[in-house]
Amino acid sequence: MGDKNAADIARLIHDETFDIDTEEFTRLVAHAGDLIVKYFEGIRTGIIIPDKTLEQMKESIIEPLPLTGQNLWQILEEAKKKVIDQAVRIGHPKLLGWILPSGTPIGAVADGIAGALNQNVALSGSGIATAVELLVLNWIKQILGYDQNAAGVLVSGGTLANLTALTVARNSKATYDIRKNGVKQGNERGAMVLYASKEVHSCILKAANLLGLGTDNIRFVDIDDQFRLDVKDLEAKIIEDREQEKHPFCVVATAGTVNTGAIDPLDAIADTCQNYNLWFHVDAAYGGFAALAPSCTPLLKGITRADSLTLDPHKWLFIPFEAGCVFVKNAAQMREAFSVSVPYLHIDKTKIPGQDDVDFADYGIQLSRHFRALKIWMSLKQYGVEKYGRIIEQNIHLAQYLSALLLEREDVEIVAPPALSTVCFRYYPRDLQQRYQRCDRGTQENIERYLDALNQSVLSAMRKEGKMMLSGTVLRNTFVLRACIVNFRTTKQDIVEISEMVQGVGKTEDGTLRRLHI
């Protein structure tokens, strides 16, 4: 362009825009709103998960890269038929698989508004979005009774929250300057060692991998009969590592394990961390907001002693994905780990309206950040924490109810004591239970193998039918069915029907499979 003057360049510009005519946009928004209302209206009925393979899904939407624009109404129609109608009905009262919570309807409305505002909640000048996030973070600290001076940030979810916290833990506990020197796990002697129970969430492994700690330097601590971290084994492992001149630096405790809902003995772990000068991190992604349920308060004792804390508002605050949250008690350590000074962001802070002392990019990994706080703000205001507490308590009661109903059936075994809102069980035909008591070890092993296969079939059959959805996991080498109730639509009647369906499907699958196996 060097040789072109302004007038020459001006002739190339035709003021095209992506804006839509207001009238057409009004109708479009109204129609989309209608789709959203209808979606929620129908969420209690219909198939939970469509019976199609990914290949079939891919084929149903295949389309070359659009060169020219398409009709807006056609696009919305496709969004309805191809996407909405084929989506998993997350929010269905009988979806109890994994931890897939129902989302608040107002959360969806908030995400639409946030999408329109398109704030970037990191940069200088994102005043109101920053203020709302700070307010929401303070509310969450209050819910937990956590230090009001702690620094925090909203993130995409538990994985990023844990990664953020462990970055601060690693950098703060290192005996050298990690930001400058890099990680030195090669030095066998001083290697930094992380402790977590055998039931810890896989994202802790992922974080340790990213942070360059290495799985060799993670100790998987034994669990007790309720799948909680065994503090004696923790201490023994710390002492052993010290003797080997390793550098024990952090314990990850879990408040609500993903498998069974177990809450590690937080207070005792906090004592151990204090005694051995270790960073105390609590992954309370699932169980943290159980602080609102009176029955859980005693179990969470010690959580406020955490140096860092992971929570997932997109779990038991029922916020639509993504809404994770992380706190670090010592704000300076958090800032020290993440603040990177660059001229184009940090100039002239004192003079810019709306930008005083908080830039969330200094407290976490992301720079550009969506306005996640809005949906949390609106949801907490709509319901208030007292009702949240009742709904969470209700989820816990529903899990206990399911467990009790299943116990009353002869063909079901409860495999782990129900904790929080999780029930782990398996379909175990009564005649096989009896046979197991009086047969030899070889036959017992055959029965175990058969039960694994049977319960996998039960799970698949349930999903294929689409009327309810559980997930499966492995506990002490046994495949089990897992119901995790983080759902404000599930009723007593749903639980009764689920327990009946388990029995029904179990019987059918057993009828088909038994002769093939034993």
Residues 311-340 that bind a second copy (CB under 8 A): 312, 314, 318, 320-322, 324, 337-338, 340
CB of 177 to a second copy, least distance (A): 8
CA 5 → CA 2, 8, 10, 12, 447, distances in Å?
8, 5, 9, 12, 85
User: Angle 480-486-492 (CA atoms, 0-180°, nearest 5)?
Assistant: 85
Q: Binding to a second copy (CB under 8 A): which residues in 79-98?
A: 79, 82-84, 86-88, 90-91, 97-98
Q: Binding to a second copy (CB under 8 A): which residues in 151-210?
A: 156-160, 163, 167, 178-187, 191, 202-203, 205-206, 209-210
CB of 443 to a second copy, least distance (A): 25
| Residue indicated by tokens 């394990």 | 257
Total binding residues toward a second copy, as defined by CB under 8 A: 202
Name the residue nearer to a second copy (CB basis): 28 or 439: 28
Residue 45 interacting with a second copy (CB under 8 A): no
Name the residue nearer to a second copy (CB basis): 68 or 149: 68
The 279-284 sheet, strands edge to edge: 151-155, 324-328, 308-311, 279-284, 247-254, 192-197, 218-221
Name the residue nearer to a second copy (CB basis): 271 or 465: 465
Q: Which residues contact 429 (CB under 8 A, 6 or more apart)?
A: 411, 506, 510
- Provide the token pair at 187: 């030095």
Q: Binding to a second copy (CB under 8 A): which residues in 207-226?
A: 209-217
- Provide the token pair at 190: 């001083």
Name the residue nearer to a second copy (CB basis): 115 or 275: 115
- Nearest Cα neighbor of 144 from 347, 302, 362 is 302
115-146 burial by CB neighbour count: b if 16+ within 10 A, else e? eeeebebbbbebeebbebbeebbeebbebbeb
> What span, in angstroms and rounded, lies between the C-alpha atoms of 262 and 264?
6
CB of 410 to a second copy, least distance (A): 14
CB of 213 to a second copy, least distance (A): 5
- Nearest Cα neighbor of 34 from 76, 71, 74, 75 is 76
Q: Binding to a second copy (CB under 8 A): which residues in 349-408?
A: 351-358, 365-371, 374-375, 378, 380-387, 390-391, 394, 397-398, 400-401, 403-405, 407-408
CB of 275 to a second copy, least distance (A): 25
Name the residue nearer to a second copy (CB basis): 272 or 304: 304
- Provide the token pair at 129: 């979005």
Q: Binding to a second copy (CB under 8 A): which residues in 439-478?
A: 456, 459-460, 463-464, 469, 471-474
- Provide the token pair at 339: 């603040």
Please provide residue 248's backbone torsions phi and psi, each rounded to the nearest 5 degrees. Answer: -60, 130
Name the residue nearer to a second copy (CB basis): 8 or 240: 8
CB of 46 to a second copy, least distance (A): 13
- Helix, strand, or coil (residue 200): coil
- Nearest Cα neighbor of 106 from 385, 392, 317 is 317
Name the residue nearer to a second copy (CB basis): 305 or 314: 314
| Pairing state between β 478-484 and 471-475 | antiparallel
> From the list 92, 94, 96, 105, which residue makes contact with a second copy (rule: CB under 8 A)?
105
Name the residue nearer to a second copy (CB basis): 104 or 272: 104
Q: Alpha helix (H) ranges present in 290-429?
A: 313-316, 331-338, 343-346, 373-407
Name the residue nearer to a second copy (CB basis): 68 or 277: 68
CB of 407 to a second copy, least distance (A): 8
Q: Binding to a second copy (CB under 8 A): which residues in 106-145?
A: 106-120, 123, 125-132, 134-135, 139, 142-143
- Helix, strand, or coil (residue 178): helix
